[in-house]
Structure 1
Amino acid sequence: MDIPIGDGMGDRSRVAPGSALSPLHEWLLGVVMLALAWLPRAVAGAVAVLLFSLWGPPWAPLAPLFLVVVEITRAVGAGRGPLPGRAVRPGDEPELTALVRDVAERLGFRGPLLVRIVPGVQAALGRADVSGVRAYVLLLGLPLLRTLTEAELACVIAHELAHERHARDRRATLLRFARARLADRLDGRFRPLAPLAAPLLRASQPVFWHAETAADADAARIGGSAATAEALRRVALLDAAFDGLGERWLSALAEEDAYPEDFYDAVDTALADPHVVRRTARAAAQAEAVDPYATADHPPLEDRVAALPPHSVAPYGTAPLTLRTAAAVEAWCVRRLAGLDWEPANEPGEDVRPVRVLDLPHSELRELGYDTRLSLLHATRRDSSTEAVALALDALADGGWTRLARRVEPALRRVPASVRPAFTRSVLASAVSPPFAEVLCATGWTYTSPWLTTVVTAPDEDRVVDLHELLGEALRSGDPGPVRALWASAEPKEWAV
């Protein structure tokens, strides 16, 4: 069982969110957002009840009450279940336990606190009933424990614990729940609520942005401003790497009834490659900039870093903490990421085999999970990469590239208009750059990184080009000159796929 860290009833003081909205306006905003989020279901239910009342049995008028009870029961049940993650016991991990306890004491956090390790790039604080006791549960992602220094990890822990002061009252809870439900309604193909939802989400966003920067300030006070800034950047980079490389590896190997047993080592190794870091950081920034309906609860990364108050270095180490149960924790996390249900004492089924990503040949590693080359061939109706890329570059020059991008990804038509240009550029750059690199490598260029299919080195090794970045810049600026010059200088010959 979990061992609580800390005791007492907790500090019940609250810090005002600090937004321009009054408490009454925040309550009203939360109620209106929740009502709007439930409007489609309410309308459908009302129509069904009306029809049922007209042609149903005598007890049909009680149907609305029954539906309300079912909805409330479903909402309450959704928050129940086993605690996420793997329990951290103080006797097994004394260093981590001591760090959490020290940060909590310095922050003035009082309350039963359980620590659990989760597989992904995550840090969160929640509440749960454990053995009849209302306790706090701190979730820490294994990638953070492996990668962050002790000082940076202290800042992450302090940030999460600080949320108990800045964004845990009932008003903030209602706003967060309502924002999440309303954002869910905007994920589908049809978004009739968007004109009404976007202004409400935009009006409530500053409440949570202020809470985040306030928690960042507490983290800087505990762990130092420099460590807090570096922690913010590293967490963003790790998150983007897991969403990009990590998810691609997991899904590709799952199709082969395999799983990456060295998943975390492979991610760490990939992030030691400067080309991967550059690509991942750019992807994180692009994803952060795309928020058409103001659903993001966190401010942009650089805004958070700029808002940090100055604080000197705190007494924490500059190396990652040692996890004494690291091997067992990593094996457990990999299984959860791969969706395997077998327990540590048992062997996986014979149809599931472990694969070491770091042992794969570079050619296979680069291609693991990539299918964009074939998407361009299909969209252009060409049989070779040379022909497909030449046609794409012609479309870039004559302005027809948006039509080509829609053939590559028909779902672009359903993307909100405000962010459609950015998504369109990304789709086309992602589709054209791998076959472009493939053709260049057939003419003497070489792949620069074992992890990326779009970074290539010239035959004389005096030039490294990230084709994805080059194409993206050409699409943004409307100037295809550098791309076409590279294509012409390489003199690609016809090469059938």
Structure 2
Amino acid sequence: MTESADTSWHDRSVMDGRISGGPQVSAVRAWSFTAAMAAVAWLPLIGFLLLIAAGGLVWGGWQMIALPMLWLLPALYTRAVLPDALPGRAVRPDDEPELAALVRDMAERTGFGAPLLVRIVPEPAVLTYRVRIGGGHAYALLLGLPLVRALSATHLAAVIAHELAHERHFDDRRTRALLAARVALAERLEGRLRPLAPLAAPLLRATQPWPWQEELAADAEAARVVGGDAAREAVEWVAVIDAAFDGIAQDWVEDLVEEGSYPVDLYEAFDLALQDPLVRARAAREDAEEEALDVYATATHPPTAVRTAALPHTGTGTSAAYGSAPLVLRDAEVVAEWCVQHLACADGPGGTLQAGGGGGALRPEDLKPVRLLQLDADRFRLPADGGHRAEALAAATGQSSPTGALRAALDAVADGDWYGLARRMRPQLRWLPAAVRRSLGCQVLASAMGAALVPLLLEAGWSCTSRWMSTVLTAPDGTVVDLYEVLVTAVDGGDPAPVHALLDKSGTEKAERA
């Protein structure tokens, strides 16, 4: 490792056991489930390689054996070499004494006594994992810059307390192995050589109570340290920030990188977006929608509503002195610049938290710095790909005009066969589990209809209510309408009347002539 033990944020001591209320995993059950999940996860890949090897032996074609091995080399390299590099930017106590004091206090209050390294990462993540330093073991605490900037110091304390308390649950080999097998099986379900869902889903469903109990026990410990209300607010805020960053900031970065630039004020713009109640409401709804689509029980965290309901109303704890304002980093500009460049130059913004997280082919000097807040707001209102969605709706309905496409889609909603229309726009829906096809199809169709409807309403004198979103509009009479909410309700309920009313108000014939 590039870091030494003298840069850790907490002195070495013996970790003092598990949190009261944490799950106790039977050794026999844990190892049995671990072995079963590992077998189900890797059996398709192993079978494929054995089939290729058998074919090579039968037909004497060594290429049939060599090519799959070449295909596996990058993955083997990633797992064997890259994990030695820590993700994120190192933050040392002397550089950020306020953050150091906060982390140290939370470690003491939760009984976390292992050496701790703190690193800032570009995305709203908070997690810990074991690392090796100088022949010994320590822990790395990754703090997402969006959370550090947006959360109050008390809420940040709650998040840190939760993560440190949560890590204490994992301090035995069998629990770590079980949860690692769960993660591996869940990831394999998204690969090309996927395990059979009828085998994977029961295993994931049977083992899900263990990580959920871990999370709830860690929430309870955070509530003990900072108070139930602060812990509850922190859980809600983290969910909103995570969904908003994934839905807004990531799109900004990807769109600008495609144009050969990157947003130097990404986090400043995102901070402003979070102040918009419409953005927060949309993010909370998207978080709930994503949680509801977990048909294979792959989620390691309980739904936000479950977590907040389980927390007691105990007011503030001993760390309330940290206050309601965010903790300001002393090197905030340098850290933000590093995070933005890392997002822009990585192989993909979603991959920046992988071990080794170094960038891809792009370098910061290859991109032109621009300021989001000085660009035309219409370029970055969500959804960013509205034009493509409207075109997909027109192609799926066989109509040449937005109005015709909308009316054809509404007819399909009234007839109850709208799912076929959604599948024509998104053929991948047919490969998804039956339990989620309808929900995702509803979202696909509603988003496409919104992309077609928004320009018509804007042409008719409506205006965007939010600087950051295109689907919440204000009518000429001052009425605020969330088009996405209206469209989802109409499609899911099979009642197109509210959308027909909006079309009538838009004066679509005049808009089409224009």
1:23–1:72 distance in 2 versus 1, CA, 3 Å: farther
Counterpart of 2:138? 135
1:106 maps to which of 98, 102, 109: 109
2:305 counterpart of 1:302: yes
Secondary structure at the counterpart of residue 275 of structure 2: coil
**Residues 219-258 of structure 1 mapped to structure 2, 5 A cutoff:** 219-258=222-261
The letter for the 1-side match of 2:337 is A
In structure 2, distance between residues paired with 1:484 and 1:71: 53
Give, in angstroms, the shift of residue 271 of structure 1: 1.6
Counterpart of 2:197? 194
Secondary structure at the counterpart of residue 137 of structure 2: strand
2:338 maps to which of 302, 323, 332: 332
Residues 159 and 216 in structure 1, CA contact (< 8 A), matched pair in contact too? yes
Give, in angstroms, the shift of residue 14 of structure 1: 3.6
Give, in angstroms, the shift of residue 80 of structure 1: 2.4
Give, in angstroms, the shift of residue 207 of structure 1: 0.4
**Residues 268-283 of structure 1 mapped to structure 2, 5 A cutoff:** 268-283=271-286
In structure 2, distance between residues paired with 1:470 and 1:44: 47
Counterpart of 1:487? 503
In structure 2, distance between residues paired with 1:255 and 1:471: 31
1:75–1:353 distance in 2 versus 1, CA, 3 Å: closer
Counterpart of 2:375? 360
Deviates further, 362-371 or 245-254: 362-371
Counterpart of 1:183? 186
Deviations 1:182-240 (A, max 9, x none): 11221146755100110000000000000000011111111111111111111101110
2:437 maps to which of 398, 420, 427: 420
In structure 1, distance between residues paired with 2:261 and 2:209: 44
In structure 1, distance between residues paired with 2:226 and 2:192: 44
Deviates further, 225-234 or 397-406: 397-406
Give, in angstroms, the shift of residue 54 of structure 1: 6.0
1:339–1:74 distance in 2 versus 1, CA, 3 Å: closer
Give, in angstroms, the shift of residue 144 of structure 1: 1.0
Q: Which residues of structure 1 form unaligned runs of 5+? A: 58-62
The letter for the 1-side match of 2:249 is G
Deviations 1:411-441 (A, max 9, x none): 1111111110000000001111122121112
2:26 counterpart of 1:22: yes
Deviations 1:115-158 (A, max 9, x none): 11111000011111123332111110111110111111111111
Deviates further, 186-195 or 435-444: 186-195
In structure 2, distance between residues paired with 1:473 and 1:76: 45
**Residues 287-298 of structure 1 mapped to structure 2, 5 A cutoff:** 287-298=290-301
In structure 2, distance between residues paired with 1:159 and 1:340: 29
2:421 maps to which of 389, 404, 426: 404
Give, in angstroms, the shift of residue 21 of structure 1: 6.0
In structure 2, distance between residues paired with 1:277 and 1:56: 61
Give, in angstroms, the shift of residue 309 of structure 1: 3.3
The letter for the 2-side match of 1:317 is G
In structure 1, distance between residues paired with 2:167 and 2:256: 40
Deviates further, 174-183 or 423-432: 174-183
In structure 2, distance between residues paired with 1:245 and 1:378: 27
In structure 2, distance between residues paired with 1:78 and 1:233: 37
2:446 counterpart of 1:442: no
Deviations 1:226-260 (A, max 9, x none): 11111111110111011111121111111111111
2:474 counterpart of 1:468: no
Deviates further, 46-55 or 221-230: 46-55
1:16–1:76 distance in 2 versus 1, CA, 3 Å: farther
1:259–1:483 distance in 2 versus 1, CA, 3 Å: same
In structure 2, distance between residues paired with 1:164 and 1:348: 35
Residues 241 and 280 in structure 1, CA contact (< 8 A), matched pair in contact too? yes
Deviates further, 170-179 or 71-80: 71-80
2:23 counterpart of 1:6: no
**Residues 139-218 of structure 1 mapped to structure 2, 5 A cutoff:** 139-188=142-191, 191=194, 193-218=196-221
Residues 249 and 369 in structure 1, CA contact (< 8 A), matched pair in contact too? no
Identity score, percent: 48
In structure 1, distance between residues paired with 2:416 and 2:140: 54
Counterpart of 1:60? none
Secondary structure at the counterpart of residue 420 of structure 2: helix
Give, in angstroms, the shift of residue 496 of structure 1: 6.3
1:323 maps to which of 324, 329, 342: 329
Residues 230 and 315 in structure 2, CA contact (< 8 A), matched pair in contact too? no
Give, in angstroms, the shift of residue 51 of structure 1: 4.9
In structure 2, distance between residues paired with 1:56 and 1:390: 60
In structure 2, distance between residues paired with 1:355 and 1:489: 39
Deviates further, 239-248 or 308-317: 308-317
1:73–1:287 distance in 2 versus 1, CA, 3 Å: closer
In structure 1, distance between residues paired with 2:462 and 2:483: 12
Deviates further, 434-443 or 294-303: 434-443
Residues 151 and 318 in structure 1, CA contact (< 8 A), matched pair in contact too? yes
Counterpart of 1:382? 399
Q: Which residues of structure 2 form unaligned runs of 5+? A: 348-357
1:292–1:203 distance in 2 versus 1, CA, 3 Å: same
1:391–1:412 distance in 2 versus 1, CA, 3 Å: same
Deviates further, 264-273 or 476-485: 476-485
Give, in angstroms, the shift of residue 399 of structure 1: 2.1
1:179–1:192 distance in 2 versus 1, CA, 3 Å: closer
Counterpart of 2:472? 455
Give, in angstroms, the shift of residue 163 of structure 1: 1.8
Counterpart of 2:354? none
Give, in angstroms, the shift of residue 162 of structure 1: 0.8
Secondary structure at the counterpart of residue 184 of structure 2: helix
1:451–1:55 distance in 2 versus 1, CA, 3 Å: closer
Give, in angstroms, the shift of residue 487 of structure 1: 2.0
Deviates further, 79-88 or 358-367: 358-367
The letter for the 2-side match of 1:129 is R
1:79–1:173 distance in 2 versus 1, CA, 3 Å: farther
In structure 1, distance between residues paired with 2:281 and 2:448: 19
Secondary structure at the counterpart of residue 512 of structure 2: coil
In structure 2, distance between residues paired with 1:216 and 1:384: 52
Aligned residues: 484
1:262–1:361 distance in 2 versus 1, CA, 3 Å: same
Residues 87 and 115 in structure 1, CA contact (< 8 A), matched pair in contact too? yes
Residues 127 and 163 in structure 2, CA contact (< 8 A), matched pair in contact too? yes
* TM, length-normalised to structure 2: 0.87
Residues 103 and 154 in structure 1, CA contact (< 8 A), matched pair in contact too? yes
Secondary structure at the counterpart of residue 38 of structure 1: helix
